[in-house]
Amino acid sequence: MKSAGGKEFTVPEPRTGSADLSADILESLETFAEIGESLHGTANATEICEQVVAVLNDRLGLQTCSIMLVDADGMLVNVAGTSPRKGKSAPRVHRSFRLGEGIAGTVAESGKAILVPDATCDERFSSGRMAPTVRSLLCLPIKGAEGPLGVLNLSHGDPGFFGTHHVTVFGTLATILGRLLAESRLAQKLAEFNRDLEQEVATRTLEIQASHAYLEQLLNSASDVILTVDWRGRVTFANPRVSVLGYNREQLLGQPFSVLCPGGTLPTPLMDAMTGTVRHHEELVLSGKDGEALNTYCSFSPLDDADGSGRGALVMIRDVSGSKRLELQVRQMEKLTAIGTLVAGIAHEINNKLVPILVYSELLQRADLPEKEVKLIQTVHKSAVNARHIMDSLLRFSRQEAPRKEVCSLNEVVQDVINMVQFRTRKQDVTLGCELDNTIPALCLDAHQIAQVVLNIVNNACDAVEGESGTVTVRTERRGDEVRITVQDNGPGIEKENLARIFDPFFTTKEVGKGTGLGLSLCYGIIQEHGGDIQVHSAPGDTRFRISLPADTRSAMSASRSDPERDHNTKAPRGRCLVADGDPTLLEVLEHALAGHHDVVPEASGSGVISRLADGGFDVLLLDLNLADMPAEEVLQWVSEHRPHMSKRIVLMTGNAEDLDRLSQNELTSGPVITKPFQLSEVHRAVAGMLMADKE
Ligand SMILES: Nc1ncnc2c1ncn2[C@@H]1O[C@H](COP(=O)(O)OP(=O)(O)O)[C@@H](O)[C@H]1O
Ligand SMILES: [Mg+2]
């Protein structure tokens, strides 16, 4: 038999003998082997079909061999080879059928082959649907496990070209093809599945990266330090906030947590966390990189190590040094207030007792006494003056006086103090250094109080370096919106256990008579009143007191009370003075002291004062605020209503801080106020001031 392609091809005849059968089988096997070879490594269904069609065409010389497959819509579609042409000039067609439609649709649906030996005698082709070149036809089903996959179409121009044995042989080929196609579909599904999986993995990876970045951002912007520690106590994670401890995260990773603990031992709450106990809000003092202590609140929670090697802990650290400092300040202020109340109570009594000692010892020094007795009197006077100074400090302290601020130069204030202590430092062989920052603006502060603070601190520094050839340096500097005064000395420093107590009133390590323990507590109160702060750093050979003040340049608040120290000529005209004091001793002292210069009328009660003033004839009224029979305010009220010209001629006297506050609140007088215990010169100056003002 001659193939259409011209290639010699023996079409196996029906099985009539064993020789024919073996040739038939051999031929079939060879065809299948060739198909198998050509399909090696092919997974795509179309490619498989094209290869099979190519081999069959080549082997059998069938130009009209084709394979149709069922598509997703259930239509039989030509995927390889072509259907027979209806004429030589007619185009090759790729037909498609519904299942059950035509020969191909019927074969696919029924799963049974159809053999047409001669199309011209077959009524199914009577409608002329078949190309005239086709005489015999074999259509075989390609089946899958779950239904029809398609059909294999073979046709030839000679009638009777296909016999029943072709049905068996090509049927086997169609079965193998079915398997291959099913596998190919499976492989395709697998590839699609892989693609989807890769897509999913890529999407998830992006999501994980985004959530990782978010977590990182959370950790980075946390205001607390967040650390993780492994079972050996080593830091395995640190957020950037560790900078409050002076470290960057890289420096801390791998370090034992104990580097943050003073003394180098792991804190108990951390050990507890490692054994499973959560501990929140432990107050801990941690040690920064430069050894500086940091007050913190910590929480410790158990945390399994990332590699499952054991249990470590999650540590959160909050820097509370700011609030701790505030707490200490509040505690300090409370202490000062309590002491202040106590002091105010006793100061009044002691001051009254000091007045006669001061006044009479002053008078006696001027009396004509033997030199030996004058010396004794001088000693008495000196002691009384010292006692007065102590009472002054106590009163100032108890009064917590508001600073009388005015615009001044901080450098000048400091320079004045330096000049004052130079005498002492020279004698003591102490090197006194001074570095003043010229960029400091004019400030609004109570120069007298600030000088007192600097003097106190410089004196303490000089006391500390006494006996050695020490150095004391005073510096001023501007830092942003604050100015600083630093007093540094190279003395032995302050014992650790004393550091928290040095600002306490009456805390002193100095021998009796040398220290009162009031210096620093006064300084503290004054600086607080100025809205500033005092910080101390102390180590042997390096003690620094740093005063910070706001760089406030607002104009000075004018003092409400006039200055009793105004420099008036004491050679004032003689005047008539009404002196009122509830304490008979003081009354006697005042009468005695003023009698030489003025006409003095003593009076012990408020009602007496009013009746004497009613009679008139007085130039000055010296009025104690603590009269026995009525409050001083009533007397002042009476004066302003009935003798208004006298309102400006009143000198007030008091030994009690609260009286001053009371007075300044109800503005009954603007005259000078003398605080007890006073010296005679003060009384003279005040009275003289009134009389001189009268004259002007
Ligand atoms: N520069 C310093 N060096 C060492 N100790 C100091 C220094 N300044 C203050 N102190 C300590 O603080 C204490 C309290 O000081 P302070 O309140 O001024 O009282 P006082 O000077 O009367 O003792 C001092 O007794 C001293 O122990
Ligand atoms: Mg002192």
Q: DSSP letters of 566-621?
A: ----S-PPP-EEEEE-SSHHHHHHHHHHHHTTSEEEEE-SHHHHHHHHHH---SEE
pLDDT at 485: 97
Ligand whose nearest atom lies closest to the CA of 524 = 1
Any atom of ligand 1 within 6 Å of the Cβ of 117: no
Ligand whose nearest atom lies closest to the CA of 491 = 1
Residue 443: helix, strand or coil by DSSP? strand
CA dihedral for 172, 173, 179, 182, sign (positive or negative)? negative
Residue 366 banded pLDDT, cuts 50, 70, 90: confident
| Cβ-proximal residues to 286 (8 Å cutoff; 6+ apart), any chain | 245, 260, 261, 262, 293, 294, 296, 298, 317
End-to-end alpha-carbon separation of the chain, Å?
157
Q: Average pLDDT for residues 622-647, to the nearest whole number?
A: 88
Instruction: Pull the structure tokens for residue 186.
Output: 């499976």
Distance 509 CA to ligand 1 centre (A): 7
Distance 392 CA to ligand 2 centre (A): 15
Task: Look up the pTM and report it.
Answer: 0.42
Q: Which atom of ligand 1 is nearest to the CA of 517?
A: 19
Q: Which CATH number applies to 222-319: 3.30.390.10, 3.10.25.10, 3.40.640.10, 3.30.450.20?
A: 3.30.450.20
Instruction: Pull the structure tokens for residue 255.
Output: 């370090």
Distance 400 CA to ligand 1 centre (A): 21
CA distances to 456, 473, 485, 498, 628 from 465, rounded to whole Å, are 14, 12, 19, 18, 52
Ligand 1 pocket, mutate which of 390, 397, 460 (most atoms under 8 A from CB): 460
Q: Are 100 and 151 in contact (CB under 8 A)?
A: no
pLDDT digits (tens, 9 = 90+) for 428-480: 889 999 999 999 988 888 888 898 899 999 999 999 997 667 999 999 999 88
Residue 160, phi-psi category: left (phi > 0), alpha (psi -120 to 50), beta (remainder) = left
Ligand whose nearest atom lies closest to the CA of 514 = 1
Share of the chain above pLDDT 70, in %: 84
pLDDT digits (tens, 9 = 90+) for 40-52: 666 688 888 888 8
- CATH code given to domain 406-550: 3.30.565.10
CA 79 from chain centre, in angstroms, equals 70
Cα(597)–Cα(681) distance, integer angstroms? 12
Number of Cβ within a 10 Å radius of residue 70: 21
Any atom of ligand 1 within 6 Å of the Cβ of 236: no
Cα(265)–Cα(313) distance, integer angstroms? 16
Distance 504 CA to ligand 1 centre (A): 10
Any atom of ligand 1 within 6 Å of the Cβ of 515: yes
pLDDT digits (tens, 9 = 90+) for 74-108: 899 988 887 655 555 555 556 678 888 888 899 99
Distance 499 CA to ligand 2 centre (A): 14
β-bridge partners, 67:
80, 152
Any atom of ligand 1 within 6 Å of the Cβ of 280: no
Distance 455 CA to ligand 2 centre (A): 9
Instruction: Pull the structure tokens for residue 137.
Output: 């036809």
pLDDT digits (tens, 9 = 90+) for 566-603: 333 345 688 899 999 988 888 888 888 888 788 999 99
Q: Are 169 and 153 in contact (CB under 8 A)?
A: no
Q: Which atom of ligand 1 is nearest to the CA of 518?
A: 17
Ligand whose nearest atom lies closest to the CA of 534 = 1
Any atom of ligand 1 within 6 Å of the Cβ of 507: yes
Any atom of ligand 1 within 6 Å of the Cβ of 464: yes
Distance 502 CA to ligand 1 centre (A): 6
Share of the chain above pLDDT 90, in %: 31
pLDDT, mean over the chain: 82
Any atom of ligand 1 within 6 Å of the Cβ of 32: no
Q: Where is 154: in which H helix or E strand?
A: strand 147-156
Q: Are 680 and 359 in contact (CB under 8 A)?
A: yes
Ligand 1 pocket, mutate which of 332, 452, 498, 502 (most atoms under 8 A from CB): 502
Q: Are 177 and 140 in contact (CB under 8 A)?
A: no
pLDDT at position 547 over 70 = yes
Q: Are 206 and 296 in contact (CB under 8 A)?
A: no
Q: Which residue has the higher pLDDT, 661 or 144?
A: 144
Q: Which residue has the higher pLDDT, 316 or 128?
A: 316
DSSP type of residue 192 = H
Q: Spelled out in words, what is the top-level CATH class assigned to the domain 576-695?
A: alpha beta
3-state secondary structure 38-64: HCCCCCCHHHHHHHHHHHHHHHHCCCC
Q: Spelled out in words, what is the top-level CATH class assigned to the domain 18-190?
A: alpha beta
Distance 516 CA to ligand 2 centre (A): 7
Any atom of ligand 1 within 6 Å of the Cβ of 519: yes
pLDDT digits (tens, 9 = 90+) for 110-169: 999 999 888 887 777 755 555 667 788 899 999 988 889 999 998 888 888 888 888 888
Q: Are 161 and 135 in contact (CB under 8 A)?
A: yes
Q: Which residue has the higher pLDDT, 666 or 623?
A: 623
Dihedrals phi, psi of 525, to nearest 5 degrees: -60, -45
